[in-house]
Structure 1
Amino acid sequence: MSDGRLIDINVRKMEEFDVAYIRHHGAYDPSDSDLFQALFSKLLAWAVPRGKFSPDKSKVITLFSGGHPYITDQSNLTVDACTSVDPDAEVSGTIGKRKISDGQYAIVQLFGATSEECRQTWDLVFDRWIHQSGYCLGPGDFYCPHDNDTEQHPERLYDVKMFFSVVPQGI
């Protein structure tokens, strides 16, 4: 990254889990905090009164469910604001439900990162690491659980993990 931070990438097996989500379809900028704040606000406005969200137990996740803005045609993009839910949770209206795939994932964890550092890290995985790692992109998901609320951070910095579905090359 531009500030010389080293990025540690670990690959490990992840179990599948259920999420409730609200989807944005079409063009977006991954650093558009207004868009993501609106999506998560709508999702939590649905989840909290129904007991589907608990700050100490639930995961808050951005799921890149239809490509990535830098490599996918804008009309085909989708991104989901998600919260983890029990497998038997029922959803309705604009709220959907799906499973985050199990499988092998390359995982990067950032602490106190700016939006730009998050973007640079994402790009580094796609542009360099994946080609040098002995892995290729897998059939699973690309998602980011958020470990803090940037609105509550004094510098609006992110504590986030990035999960990239991978499989060994040649499989």
Structure 2
Amino acid sequence: SRREGRGQKKEERSHWPGGFSPSFISQVELRQASPSIASTEKIASALGVTLGEFFRAIDPTPPAVIRSDARPVVQSEWSRAKIEALGPFNKDSQFEPMVITIQPGGASGHKPYVRQAEQLAVVLMGTLELTLEEEVHNLKRGDAAGIPAGNRHCWRNVSKRPAQILIVTAHRRL
């Protein structure tokens, strides 16, 4: 598992950031639980990896081209969403692009959450509701939003049709 690859022992998992129990983390590792997008991001952060790195095998030479039928894909039953990693295209990339398809009634989390990275989002299909800090924005196909690092946000599909969004996260690598 990603946790074991980082040298974490079972005993060290008893105090996970975000309040996750060791049994929940084990269920996620065994694909017996499907966390929300927000919870998945918190788990990845606790492991010291980005969301894109969390879902793909570590490859010392990432491909220059990722074919649409070869993208790493993760389903989040809780969020009613499919996450498709589009990169990174090199190991030192600061950009992490992904396409997220959210089904009607789906959401990135049950409340707004914080990412410590800046994001650019473009709605590719359908309509989505973006809660950014205290403001709610209704976005349609072609609309773009910038989400500053440290701002609370949440995506919701309140429509009757699937919605798709391209999100590019800009990580600061040290």
What TM-score comes out, normalization by structure 1 length?
Answer: 0.32
Quick one: higher RCO (CA 8 Å, sep 6+), 1 or 2? 1
What TM-score comes out, normalization by structure 2 length?
Answer: 0.32
